[in-house]
Each structure stands twice: as structure tokens, then as C-alpha cells.
Structure 1
Amino acid sequence: MVIDAHHHIIPKCVVDSIRKGDPRFEAEIQVKDQQEWIVHRQGYAYPLFDKFYDIKAKQQDLENANLDAVVLSPAPPMFYYWKDAETGADLARIINDGTAEMIGQNSQVFQGMATVSMQDPLAAVKELERVRSLYNIRAVEIGTSIEGVNLDAPEFTPFFEACDSLGFTLFLHPYYVGDKSGLSNYYFTNLIGNPLDTAKAAGSLIFGGVLDRFPNLKVMLAHGGGYFPYQIGRFNKGFQERKESRTCKEEPSSYLNRFYFDTLTFHPQALEFLVKLAGADHVVLGSDYPFDMGTLKPMDLVTSCDFSNDVIEKITDKSIRSLFI
């Protein structure tokens, strides 16, 4: 099978609520040049393609891309970490129920991840327990930081304990709704900011001792791991030379096998390097569908690389099954 592990959804129930003006979502739908857009109060806007929420549109695109199955993950603007804890927990439940509804329409094609209210880690744990019990969802997508707080902060310990004990795969995805300081021009908020956020998140889990404390935790990183896999030697150098970086049990490169990386590097040589560094059993097919910084045909990059059939099978099927199915 060919499975896309990085494939976004905005559940139809969420779209319907935004259309009706539900203030909790802090967004509205506008029409520009005959295309609907979701415009968030903080300023972030993106086209509201029907393929976000319409199962027929998704299935048609899967057929066009020769994909057999996908793992649905909420679009990052759906995190809502900036809301109060109670509202955040309510929105996470709504989004997860909507994702589960799409999965239920064709569970042979759709698997899924949950979202949780990380501004209240204890509520996040309860939601993990709920989706595992009710829907058998075994993966959760969270931001690479939580409103500027890095993932090694002590308040997130109960969440990681639950992921470790319940066997949840953790998918780290950068998110932003408004602008980022110093990255206003040229879409640098995404082009530079997102890979940087991912590297910072991976480093926080390593140097902050999170991976030492929770040995069963599996972590998938978006966008080829950002800058992290390509600067792992620099992490090692810091560990060797700087006292303030000698905070994990082993040198940072020894933790590479705790991470999984999607294929979204957009360059064959970059993807070939990633597979050589991390191993094909730690690289998974990803599209970032349907955002413009993703691809509708993620297999094109994989087949353009000098990979054996065995490596391609691991990337498109076996590695993904070890995480989600």
C-alpha cells in the first residue's frame, strides 16, 4: 500500500460552525476571486478547499495521486492553544469527533490523529484517553511549541507520561496564526520559521531529557524534520563542548532512532540524505495536503530518488504502519 502520513483535515462540523459564526473558532469565511478562504482573527488566512472536509473530494485526489490510504491530522490553525482552557478542551473534542466521523465513513482508507488542549495538560490527557477508548485513535498532533513555551517545560510532563503509557505516536507540527517577529517578508514565517521551530522542538525533547524519561515515546517530525537532521552534528558538538548542553544521557545523535521524518524536503538529494541518515524505516511519506506548501502527489519526489523497491516500500507503507496502524 501507499499511505500518506501527513494529510490534513478541517472537519465538516468545524467548517459548518465557522459558517454559522461560532465565536469560539475566531475565524470567518470570506470569498476572494470566487474561492472561499478561512480568515483567522489573528490574521492568518488560507483557501478553504473542499478537500479539507469533503470525503468525495479527498478520495478523488487520493485516486489521482495513486494513494491507497491517509492518516488524517487536524490543520495546525485548529490547535487553539491561545484560548482559555475550557474552550480549548471543548474545541479539541469537536475537532476529534469530526475527524472520527470522516474515518468512520471509510476506515479502510482513513486513519487519524487527535488534537488536544495543550494549554491544560491534564485536560489533554483526558482527551487522549477518550479518543483511544472511543475511536481507537493512537496518535496525537501537537505544535512544536505551545504559545512560545518549549516542549521540555515541566507542565507538559503529564501529557508525555500519558503518550508513553498509552502508546500514542506524537506528531510535531509547526503552527502560527499571526506573524512571527523578524520573518514578515517573503513568507519567511513558513519558509524559515517552520523548519526552525521543528529543530527547536526536537532539540528540546533531547536536551530537556524528555526522551530519556519516556523511552516508549515515538515522535514524528513534519517537513523532513526541519533543520534538525541536517544539523545533528552541531548538536553533538554542543554536547561535547558546552556544559549547558550536556543535559541528556547520551550524545544527541543517539536519539535519532526515536524520531520519524516525513518526506517533505522538496529535493531528491535532501531526501536521499535523510534516508541515509535516519534509515528508511524512520522516514514516512507525507504530503502536507492540501496546503500550497505541500504537494498533491507526494510519490513524485520518492520515485525521483535513487531508492530500491525495498526502501520505497518502507517509506510508503511499513514505517507508517509502525506508527499509526
Structure 2
Amino acid sequence: MSAPVVDVHAHAIVPEIEAAVAGRAGLDAHRALDARRNGAESLEVSGKMVAARIPQLVGVDRRLADMDAAGIDVQVVSPSPSHYHYWADRELAQAVTSSANRGIAALVAEEPLRLVGLGLIALQHPGDAVAALDDAVITCGLAGVEISSFAPGVELSDARLEPFWARAAELNAVVFLHPFGCSLDERLDRFYLSNTVGQPVENAVALSHIIFAGVLDRHPTLTVLAAHGGGYLPTYIGRSDHAWEVRPEARRCADLPSSYLPRITFDSLVHGAGALRALVDAVGAESVVLGSDYPFDMGITDPVSQVRAAGLTEAVTRSILGDNAFRLGLSTASSGVQS
């Protein structure tokens, strides 16, 4: 019997979060930055796209029907990245993370045999990260938390995040790295480059901060799950290795950067059979899991079929579809669901 088929990359909207931030100081500036980064055309298209998907983002009935149609047994649900609100002050940020953790937990409680949840921390307030993580995992029973690639003034290499990484490792909590927004700003404000180019860039930058800063040296049991196949980093890691060999300022990690890739988990959302095969070659078959980005338009509705179309061995395919997620605790072992 194989493990359940698990989609680790799916999102939900928590209405209480947007209610909490409505009318608050800083929201207008945040929206203006979002407009500058994405451009008016993409914002309009995205607004209509999200509105059309509200039944999938808020309730469970359509979600479960879509899972069944796609051959997904278990779905790992994280808040929509639009919920990060890293502009929020400390008090508001605590309301955001609390709402996210409880909102996702409530969604999971409706179908605990099919859904696993991830919460949020306020990355812009590193000193509160451990408390938010404990709230998500211990209080709300979630499997971990979702974070973006950076927050204003906070990179993932920031020393102030050390207690968070240590606590995540101690709890065996998953830290799901999912960028939202790109620091290249208006250079990507047309043709939807903010997403098609910006997201893979942000994944690569954020993972590089984690690797080069020695986060995985200090916390070897930390579970980092990278969306979008880790962006550009895994299949261009040779350049990082070369920098580590020739530049002293790049030797802040103990070993070659490529040696850390098997210690990170990557979703399969790389949009192409050749790209998926290259990802598996770069990071190892045990470090890739199924991801769809449900229900957004940059995701895919047939993730299982796309993995099977990559021409991988049956053992590797089984690992990606469910075995690896099961091993990470991103499944519902008590469900009895088998693929």
C-alpha cells in the first residue's frame, strides 16, 4: 500500500485577517507598493481571478471536489500569501497571525482526514516569531508555518531569527517558504513578470540566505519546504558552489552550497517535465514533493498527471506523490486513505 497522494502547496483565504487590517494605518502604502510592483494591468487581472475562486479559497466543499478530481488524497493548506501583511505594527501583526492560525485550524477541523494546515508568523517582528510558531503548532495543532522570502529590514539570514529556526527544528515544524512580492519592484511591473520571474528570483535569494548564512549548519534537523521548486537556485547551484570556492565572503556555510539541497524539500511546481527531472537530479528524489498552488491561476489543476508525465521511475514518482510528504508529517496518517 502506498502513502496517500499529498499536495503540499494549496492556499486558503481567512476573512478575519482582512477584517483586522481594514482601515489601518499602513494599508494604503502597502497597496501602493503592491501596485508599483505588479502594475495596473496585472492587479486588475488578479483581482478578477481571485474573486472567481472565492468558493475554492474559503469553503471545503469545492476544495474536496477538486481534490477528488485531481486524485489528491490529502492537501496541505496555507494562508494566501496576500495575508502576510508584513507592514503591520506589532499589535496588528499579532492579530493577523492569531487569525491565520485559528482560521486555518478551523478549516482543517472541517475535514481532518483530508486537510493539514500551516499558519503564519510575522516575519517583520522576529522577536515574536517563536510565540507565533508555538501558537500555530502547539495551540492550534498545525504542522508548521508559511513565510515569505523577506520582510522589510529582515532577510532570512538575520541573526534575530535564530530562536525561530531553533524552535522550528525542536518542534519538527515545517517552514514553508513561499515568496510574495519581489524586491525588483517596478522593473517587473508588466507582462506579469512580477510573478513569472519575481517568484523564482525570490525563492533563490531566500534559500541562498539560509544556506550561505549557515542556518542549516546550526539547525540540521530544520525542515524547510520551498515553493515553486526552489526557483532558479537548484538547477543553477554550480555558480553558488564556485563562489563558495573562490570568494571568502561566500564561505559562511561549512560545506558547498549544493550539499545542502538534499536537506531542503522542494515542491514539484516547476511547469515542465524536463524541469522536474532536472530538479530531481539536483536535489534528490527524496527531497521533492507534490505541489499545485491550488487554486490560483499560476498553479496547475492536474499535478499528479504532470508528475507521472515526467518519465521518472515508479519508485521516484511514488516518493514525490506521497511518500516524502508522509515522512515529513505532512499527511494524515490516521485517515486510512490510500492511493
**SS of equivalent to 2:121:** coil
Stretches of structure 1 lacking an aligned partner (at least 5 in a row): 29-38
User: 1 or 2, which has the higher helix percentage?
Assistant: 2
Shift of 1:114: 1.0
Q: Is the 8 A contact 1:240 1:246 kept in 2?
A: yes
How many angstroms does 1:136 deviate by? 2.3
Q: CA RMSD in A?
A: 2.2
Provide the rounded CA distance (Å) in 2 between the counterparts of 1:189 and 1:177: 7
Distance 1:178 1:146 in 2: 10
Contact 1:7 1:71 survives alignment (8 Å): yes
Aligned mate of 1:315, from 317, 320, 326: 320
- Residue number among 273, 277, 281 corresponding to 2:282 in the alignment: 277
Deviation at 1:149, TM superposition (A): 3.0
Note if 1:205 corresponds to 2:217: no
- The corresponding residue for 2:23 is 23
Check if 1:10 corresponds to 2:3. Answer: no
Please give the TM-score of this superposition, normalised by the length of structure 2: 0.86
Structure 2 counterpart of 1:3, which letter?
V
Structure 2 vs 1, CA of residues 59 and 218 (structure 1 numbering), >3 Å: closer, same or farther?
same
Report deviation, 1:297. 1.6
Q: Which amino acid aligns with 2:14?
A: P
In structure 2, what is the Cα distance between the partners aligned to 1:263 and 1:301?
Answer: 9
Q: How far, CA to CA, are the matches of 2:85 and 2:16 in structure 1?
A: 16
Shift of 1:300: 2.2
Equivalent pair of 2:227/2:266 in contact (CA under 8 Å): yes
Q: SS of the counterpart of 2:77?
A: strand
TM-score, reference length from structure 1: 0.90
1:72 — aligned with what?
A: 77
1:174–1:197 contact (8 Å) kept in structure 2: yes
Which among 297, 301, 306 is matched to residue 292 of structure 1? 297
In the alignment, which of 144, 147, 154 is matched to residue 149 of structure 2?
144
Paired residue type of 2:23: P
Larger strand proportion of the pair: 1
Out of 255, 267, 274, which is 2:272 matched to?
267
The structural deviation recorded for 1:132 is 2.0
Mapped contact 1:77–1:176 kept (Cα < 8 A): no
Structure of higher RCO (CA pairs closer than 8 Å, 6+ residues apart): 2
Q: 1:136 to 1:152 in 2, by over 3 A?
A: same
Q: 1:107 to 1:142 in 2, by over 3 A?
A: same
Shift of 1:276: 2.0
Q: Residue 177 and residue 87 in structure 1: after superposition, are their counterparts in 2 closer, same or farther (change >3 A)?
A: farther
- 1-structure distance, mates of 2:77, 2:217: 29
**1:89–1:14 Cα change, 3 Å:** closer
Secondary structure at the aligned position of 1:296 is classed as coil
Q: CA deviation at 1:321?
A: 1.5
Is 1:244–2:249 an aligned residue pair? yes
1:164 paired residue number? 169
Q: 1:207 to 1:91 in 2, by over 3 A?
A: same
